Amino acid sequence: MSIEIIDSHMVEKFIENSEAFEKIIGERFTLLDANKDGVLSRDELQNDTNDSSYEDVALQPKEEIINLYDVLFEKFDVGKKGTLDRKEFGSLMKEVMLAKAHGFGDTPVSIILQEDSLLKKVF
Ligand SMILES: [Ca+2]
């Protein structure tokens, strides 16, 4: 756990560095794919919101994050398969990170980051 100063530009810059971002998304995907079938079900994705790393998003209540995931799941689940593949998950995470970035706004804010937070990779 650490305390960092963050603003939306830092997060956006991180997302634009697609190589680093893709690597992290790949790791996250592998971690979340509990039954190792190469796709993420809604349940598997929900586990991500139970993850301690969401506690660092003090600006957004957990319910809001879960709602956001629900909406994004529908949006990126092309063909309504009930699952997301690696690429769809990447698009979803990009939106989640951008939503967080907008939460931070242009004014730098200090946040407490858990060890396994995605945002930790921004620094
Ligand atoms: Ca799976």
Give the CATH number, domain containing residue 20.
1.10.238.10
Classify residue 95: in a domain, yes or no.
Answer: yes
Please give the pLDDT value at position 59: 55
Classify residue 25: in a domain, yes or no.
Answer: yes
Classify residue 32: in a domain, yes or no.
Answer: yes
User: Furthest-apart CA pair in the chain: how many Å?
Assistant: 42
Q: Residue 59 in contact with residue 104, Cβ under 8 Å?
A: yes
Closest CA to 7 of 94, 118, 123: 123
Number of domains the chain is built from: 1
3-state secondary structure at position 20: helix
Please give the pLDDT value at position 51: 56
Instruction: Give the domain range for residue 97.
Output: 2-118
Query: Helices 8-16 & 86-104, crossing angle to 10 degrees?
Result: 160
- Compute the distance from residue 40 Cα to the ligand 1 centre, in Å: 4
DSSP 42-111: HHHHHHHHHSGGGGG-TTS-HHHHHHHHHHHHHHH-TT--SEE-HHHHHHHHHHHHHHHHHHH-SS-EEE
- Compute the distance from residue 85 Cα to the ligand 1 centre, in Å: 9
- Compute the distance from residue 89 Cα to the ligand 1 centre, in Å: 12
- Compute the distance from residue 11 Cα to the ligand 1 centre, in Å: 28
Classify residue 17: in a domain, yes or no.
Answer: yes
Classify residue 44: in a domain, yes or no.
Answer: yes
The model carries a pTM of: 0.78
The pLDDT tens digits along the chain (123 residues) read 788 888 888 889 988 888 988 998 999 999 999 999 999 999 898 776 655 554 454 456 677 777 878 888 999 999 999 999 999 999 998 988 888 788 777 888 888 777 777 788 887
- Compute the distance from residue 33 Cα to the ligand 1 centre, in Å: 4
Please give the pLDDT value at position 85: 96
- Compute the distance from residue 2 Cα to the ligand 1 centre, in Å: 31
- Compute the distance from residue 31 Cα to the ligand 1 centre, in Å: 10
